Structure 1
Amino acid sequence: MRPTMKTTSLGTMTHNTTRLDHVVLWVRDPVAAARFYEKTLGLEPLRVTEYTAGTVSFPSVRLNDETILDLAPHSLAERMRVVPGADGSAGHPVNHICLSLSPHDFEALRARLEEQAITVSDLAYDSYGARGPARRSFYFGDPDGNILEARHYE
């Protein structure tokens, strides 16, 4: 079955059929990573208690109603044999993950990062993304070296 197509100001797009479900980040300490994402980005930690009890392989943090970030320990790599060579991916960097925020949340995040002495990039303007050019954006890193971009469109 083909996705329904619709035309928007951004061009032709699928009609809510394909969405990003999750991104897996390799981290040294999943509990500390969950704490970072909760404290810095305000994301809801998931399955941290279960992870510390040893009943699940990794915790996650909720980005929105439909998307989570899985925080996988490097030790999980040996079990990643879903395709040939996948077990060698632990620590292999993703270039970056981009989070789209409201202007208010964008400003609040930048302030929290600066309060915590987390290095942030200079502001960029009109960077192209899923919704066209963003008004402003900047980059920062998490404690495991994963790079995140924050932006707003309005």
Structure 2
Amino acid sequence: MKLSIDHIVLNVEEISKSIDFYTGVLLLQSERLSEYQKNEAPFPSVRINSDTIIDLFPKHMWATEAQQNKGQGNLNHFCLAMSKEDWVLLTERLQSNGIRIEAGPVNRFGANGVGTSIYFRDPDGNQIEARYYSKEDAADSCLLGS
């Protein structure tokens, strides 16, 4: 069986901050934003690629009193893979937007072997891993025991 990720759902505090982050920093394209703003769609999304989107659930869709007191949700982090050139440009955009890189660059195992990753957070505290794969990283996987 071959599976793929269709979408990720993030509970967000402020839609506008999340849209600004995902479209301005990660350069993802928004989906259904104008429909959301006209109350014609319950939430907007951003597109990762032709097959995958991130749905941004506004607070009224998820914020019950019990959920607010629960603390951290089920999502640990998600990873976006890209070319090395795009990865370098992203690290520059993170820096110019004052977004702290919490870890990395570091070699980590993923869906396509070992890649070079950095970790940072979106406006709601969700951790994002950004990575690129290269032949040098694949050679390093022997050192990591992968």
Q: Find the counterpart in structure 1 of residue 49 from structure 2.
A: 64
Q: Percent identity?
A: 36
2:23 to 15, 30, 38: 38
Letter in 2 for 1:67: T
1:62 & 1:151 partners in 2: Cα distance?
A: 17
Report the aligned-residue RMSD: 2.3
**SS of residue in 2 equivalent to 1:45:** strand
For structure 1, the residue ranges without an aligned partner over 5 or more in a row are: 4-16, 80-84
More helix by share: 2
1:90 & 1:72 partners in 2: Cα distance?
A: 17
> How does the TM-score come out when normalised to structure 1?
0.78
Q: Find the counterpart in structure 2 of residue 127 from structure 1.
A: 108
What is the deviation of 1:143?
Answer: 0.7
Q: Find the counterpart in structure 2 of residue 10 from structure 1.
A: none
Q: Identify if the C-alpha distance between structure 1 residues 141 and 78 changes in structure 2 by more than 3 Å, giving closer, same or farther.
A: closer
In the TM superposition, what whole-angstrom CA distance separates every residue of 1:106-126 from its partner, at most 9, and x where no partner exists? 000000000111101342433
2:70 & 2:5 partners in 1: Cα distance?
A: 20
Q: Is the 8 A contact 1:27 1:144 kept in 2?
A: yes
For structure 2, the residue ranges without an aligned partner over 5 or more in a row are: 135-146
> How does the TM-score come out when normalised to structure 2?
0.82
What is the deviation of 1:89?
Answer: 8.0
